[in-house]
Amino acid sequence: MNRTTLLLLFMCIIYTNCGNKPDSIPDQLKANFSKHVIKIDPSIIIDSFQVLRMDTMVEKLGRIIDDTIYKRELYHVENQLANAKKEQLSDSIEFYNDEIKYMLIQIDSITKSIKSGDIKKAFGLIAICKYQIRMKNNRSKDFVFYFFDNNMNLVNADMIDSAIYRSYSRIK
């Protein structure tokens, strides 16, 4: 091979390897967050979105997060029960009481399982993000958590919508 052919081959290799790089994880998270915001209300403006921290998710951390989520849901069901009692809705009172009994058993089981959670084997990624949104002259700051499995599949899209809706309800 002569020098011209080698040079041409080398340039082709460099050109094909210098293609578009995939977006960084923070850029992907912001794009995903924007899609969730638009789904709730396209008139919401995202003033800022910042990835504060990204950590490997291990079994023990996953159990702690599950425990926290279950306790948060229990709090909501207890509020619904209190409202049902105020309005004397006997069917709802019975339903919420049964739901609370079931949830307490689940929470107790999860809480006890935290101690035995593996702290070495990774099974995903958690990204903690801070954002500010606005509508007209109203602004709201909050945090959102992204949970990914080992294949980088998002596993908590509903929680992201819930966090955004919580902020949205304060500014609409």
Q: What's the mean pLDDT when you consider all of the chain?
A: 86
Query: What pLDDT, in 10s, does the model give residues 38-62?
Result: 999 999 999 999 999 998 888 888 8
In a domain, 9, yes or no: no
Q: What are phi and psi of 126, to 5 degrees?
A: -120, 135
In a domain, 17, yes or no: no
Contact 97, 117 (CB under 8 A): no
The pLDDT of residue 6 is 45
The pLDDT of residue 85 is 94
Q: In the chain, what percentage of residues exceed pLDDT 70?
A: 87
The pLDDT of residue 121 is 81
The pLDDT of residue 7 is 45
Q: What average pLDDT does range 26-42 have in this prediction?
A: 94
Q: Which residue has the higher pLDDT, 49 or 151?
A: 49
Model confidence band, residue 14 (pLDDT cutoffs 50, 70, 90): low
In a domain, 52, yes or no: yes
DSSP 8-state symbol, 154: B
In a domain, 12, yes or no: no
Tell which residue, 67, 68, 92, has the closest CA to residue 82: 92
152: pLDDT strictly greater than 80? yes
Q: What average pLDDT does range 162-169 have in this prediction?
A: 91
Query: What pLDDT, in 10s, does the model give residues 78-103?
Result: 999 999 999 998 888 999 999 999 99
In a domain, 68, yes or no: yes
In a domain, 5, yes or no: no
Claim: this prediction has a pTM higher than 0.75: no
Residue type at position 72: R
In a domain, 90, yes or no: yes
Q: Which structural domain range is residue 90 located in?
A: 23-171
Rg (CA), the chain: 24
Number of folded domains that form the chain? 1
